[in-house]
Structure 1
Amino acid sequence: MIRGVRGATTVDQNNGEEIVEKAHELMIDIISQNDIKPEKVTSVLFTVTEDLNAAFPAKSLRLLEGWTYVPVMCMTEIPVPQSLVKCIRVMVTVDTSLDQTEVNHVYHYHATQLRPDLKN
């Protein structure tokens, strides 16, 4: 079954190293908590809030062995008033045997407020 695995994190500054580092940390947790293999991934979509432009969070996947050929894209979130700032979101589309209720969506730092109903 093809499933979407969601996640989000925040950074303190619009700093390229921090953006890649926090996105990498998020992806490591998503991958490990959902037993994701790169050859089973259809694509990965990252979004960032408009206050983040110092780096592409997709660069974080290129630091992982085996992820070279996974299609990755970055986009800007729509600027909703009073929304969470300095936020990186991700959607991993993957072929998995997990039921929808077994998928572990991962939220770090201030992004935990986006989905308080999902406790990691």
Structure 2
Amino acid sequence: MNDVPLRLVGLRGATTCAANTTAEIRQAVGELINALVSRNRLNPSQIVSVTFSVTADLDACFPAAEARQREGWDSVALLDCQQMAVQGDLSRCIRVLAHAWLPQEQSPQHPYLGDASRLRPDRSGHN
């Protein structure tokens, strides 16, 4: 990848949790990160930063704590924040914004999993 021209891109995605528990949040974050990494063929050195936002009904743990456990992610800047509360918003939702270096010709893939597929039906498949 050293000789391939790269561009910095923002990758979006989201998922939902079955419950506000540490185990459920960790599982949902793990699935979301796995989808983001696999669909974009990322290795940790390509990932600059990841911001997780959660709805106010998820407060059992920090999503970034799950990401910190991943091998090679010690140089990735991680941040958690609370999603703006909007009436009628999807409950128990975790959103992600990642900045990563992708080959110039590679199209970014934005995973929307579980009930979060309703947020972006155009992106809920493998696009």
TM-score, normalising length: structure 1? 0.93
Q: Which runs of 5+ in 2 are unaligned?
A: 1-6
Equivalent positions of 1:9-88 (< 5 A) are 9-88=15-94
Please list every run of at least 4 consecutive aligned residues from structure 1 whose deviation after the TM superposition is greater than 4 angstroms: none
Which of residues 111, 117, 121 is equivalent to 1:106? 111
Query: How many residue pairs are counted as aligned between the two chains?
Result: 119
Q: Which has the larger radius of gyration?
A: 2
Rounded to whole Å, the distance in 1 between the matches of 2:105 and 2:12 is 14
Match of 1:117 among 113, 117, 122: 122
CA distance in 2, matches of 1:112, 1:99: 26
What whole-Å deviation, never above 9, does each CA across 1:52-108 have from its counterpart, x for those lacking one?
1000111221232111221100000000110100000001100111557x2110011
The Cα of 1:12 is off from its aligned counterpart by 1.3
Structure 1, unmatched stretches of 5+, are: none
TM-score (norm 2): 0.88
* Correspondence for 1:7 among 13, 17, 26: 13
Note the aligned Cα RMSD (angstroms).
Answer: 1.3
Letter in structure 2 aligned against 1:79: A
Identity %: 37
